[in-house]
Chain A
Amino acid sequence: MSTTQTAADFKKNATTLTADLRHRSLIKGALKKYEVARDARKSRFQDWQAARQSAAEIKWDAVNHLDTHLVELAKNLEARGTQVHWAGNAEQAREIILGVVRKHNARSIVKSKVMTGEEIHLNDALEKAGFDVVESDLGEYIVQLRHEPPYHFVFPAMHLTRGEISKLFTEKLGTAPTDSPEELTMIARRVLRDKYVNADIGISGANFAIAETGMISITENEGNARLTCALPKVHIVLMGIEKVLPKLEDLALFLPMLATAGAGQTLTGYNTMYGGPRQPGEADGPLEMHVVLLDNKRTTLMADPEQRDALHCMRCGACLNVCPIYKNIGGHTYGCTYQGPIGAVITPHLCGMADWKHLSFASSLCGACTQNCPVKIDLHHHLLQGRRNAMARNPVWWEKLAFQALAFLFNHAPLFSLGMKLGRIGQIFHPLIKGTPVDPAIAWTKSRELPKVAPQTFREWWQNRK
């Protein structure tokens, strides 16, 4: 595999973090709690597998008729006074949002969790243009204070201990150190209350968009999105075009599935459908609502029918939570917005094969991701297809040569048995160079023992048997 900078960084960070036992025990501890809660909730379903199949079918319908559903969504949003914008790429989306923010002479902006915002580097763009922007989700707020991307797209600050968070708050906010998660949460609550009350603009993402009724559905636990969409005068939604569901009642299935698969809850704290700005006779709410529909290469992924079902993803994070690779290398190592198996599948399509094809190899192919995906995305097969696609596009000459040589060897029995004999002699001397730069098996022996060649082959045993 030819190595790009992203691949080299990935390898380096993965090696470091895999050996970091403190990191591993922190992540495993957190994910164990998730697993227990998820299993308890899942067992309450009368038929989880049938629900999965149905969810997969509804998403299939939504994605495979996306043009019709998007037109319907836009029409119904506009009918209730929402302004709909279409953004082909990240730059266009940033320009649209900056345009709205400038039009209102906004000073401060409050955001609830928007993964598409991470994808288009929205905070950077807003800050560079001179606007004050603050994340309101507790985990996102913590990583924003650290100038870090989210570690996990559902649990953004999962890699930090309360001690580290306390130290961070002391440094950045001047608060007294504390060992209590509750006190830390209350510190953030106090700081962010002020921001909500004074913000001119609220920016949110979308978990689902309902075509039939023209609504944006947002799922959250903290109430931060509820406040973000209630107090500021303007509400901007940034969402990927694939988030559409045909019918309002589809949510009766998707909301509990998202909660169960994503966080081991029966239902997430707040599941809210926003159908426009403040309507006549309503007490409060924004005076303007904007929805930015973002493509940003989703149509490139869509053009691959084999992997199109990756667009069914509702970002629950279940595949990350069960992935042995994710648990060992951690979220930041992936180096992209969407981590874990789903990230490894979609990132080469969204951000370019050349820089991201190595992610297809960040998998043990154990299939835990596929098994746990609530919308049945065939993740581990897509990772295999990703490897095939990467090799078809950029064949590596020496790998090709090596496999041709092996094929020749396996096809010529005398040569093969000579090889076995040489191996037996070779392994006597191997310990002398094992692990040194001249060791031809260095990539293997660095961290593992080389298997021994048997003293007698099966053929020899067969010939010599009495």
Chain B
Amino acid sequence: MNERENILGRIREALSVPAPVPGAHDHPSAHPASEAEAAKHIGEWLPSVGPSLEDRIELFRSNSADLKTDFRLVNSREEALAQVKEIAASEGWKKVASHADPMLEGIDAALGLPVLKTDGGYNVCDMEQCDAGISACDALVAQTGSVLVTSRSAGGRALSVLPPHHVVIARRDQLVPDLPAAFALLKQKYAGNYPSLISFITGPSRTGDIERILVLGAHGPKKVTVVCY
């Protein structure tokens, strides 16, 4: 407790002498804009997103291609489940991990495989053995090709990173245009009671630590599939 006061005391003493405002070298007249004003503009500075849902879908699709995310657009939930079933067969899944969510209803029956449900706790070694983790999400972000998950919407913390393949099932209306919209959605949905983890997942796990050469599946999933209906 004492150290807290020491540190805060040193900060207050240091701040008693004001610092020049940012940009003073380049633009002598610059003053910090109000935060609300700044937030309003962020969307105008970041990479642009078209106005229609089709634009968002196309942008999410091209970002997914860049990121090596497998993006599949289908017309109904039944088709989405069929897609997952097809992947399961082609990859020879033996066991999957998942969680309780209306978006995932019927997936167990469709797959006909042993399913580890994370709700209410699970054994980590069991999940490590799973071929895929299947989850819902909070949103898809067109601007960045990201999947927004939380510990509440996607079956906890490990489901989306421990198995080698992460499959996300989402609806078209979950596709938000940009990052400011994604944060606004988080605030509106969870303010006052946030989940303990919020994560923007942008493509499969990756590294460039060896000669800056891209390798997928460094520690997390080697594949990410987004099935959107």
Contacts and interface: CB of A to CB of B under 8 A. Distances in A.
Contacts, number: 315
Contact of A57 (B33, B47, B182): B33
Contact of B202 (A186, A253, A269): A269
Interface in B30-49: 30, 32-33, 35, 38-39, 41-42, 44-48
A369 interface: no
Interface stretch (A280-288, A325-333, A402-410, A441-449): A280-288
Contacts of B155: 283
A60 interface: yes
B202 A252 contact: no
B57 to A, nearest CB: 17
Interface in B13-42: 13-15, 17-23, 25, 30, 32-33, 35, 38-39, 41-42
Contacts of B179: 251-253, 255-256
A274 B197 contact: yes
A227 B161 contact: yes
Considering residues B32, B33, B204, which has the most beta carbons from chain A within 10 angstroms of its beta carbon?
B32
Interface of B is mostly: loop
Interface residues on B, range: 35 or more
Interface in A237-273: 241, 246-249, 251-253, 255-256, 263, 265-273
A308 B22 CA distance: 11
Contacts of B203: 269
Given A64-B19, A283-B119, A299-B11, A54 B41 contact: yes
A282 B122 CA distance: 11
Contacts of A59: 22
Contact of B19 (A48, A50, A51, A60): A60
A107 interface: no
Given A88-B3, A247-B35, A275-B194, A181 B213 contact: yes
B202 A271 contact: yes
A20 interface: no
A223 B158 contact: no
Contacts of B199: 226, 270-273
Interface stretch (B75-83, B86-94, B102-110, B144-152): B144-152
Nearest to B160: A226
Contacts of B212: 29-30, 33-34, 155, 158
A172 interface: no
A229 interface: yes
Contacts of A139: 207, 209
Contacts of B220: 222-224, 226-227, 269-270
A293 interface: yes
Interface in B183-229: 183-184, 186-187, 194-213, 215, 217-221
Nearest to B204: A269
Interface of B: 3-4, 6-8, 10-15, 17-23, 25, 30, 32-33, 35, 38-39, 41-42, 44-48, 63, 66, 99, 118-122, 124-125, 128, 143-146, 151-152, 155-162, 178-180, 182-184, 186-187, 194-213, 215, 217-221
Q: Which 7 A-B residue pairs are closest in the complex by CB-CB distance?
A: A223-B220, A283-B156, A56-B22, A230-B157, A222-B218, A139-B209, A299-B10
Given A54-B42, A299-B7, 13 more contacts: A57-B32, A88-B6, A221-B218, A222-B206, A230-B156, A230-B158, A246-B35, A266-B145, A270-B205, A277-B196, A279-B196, A285-B151, A312-B22
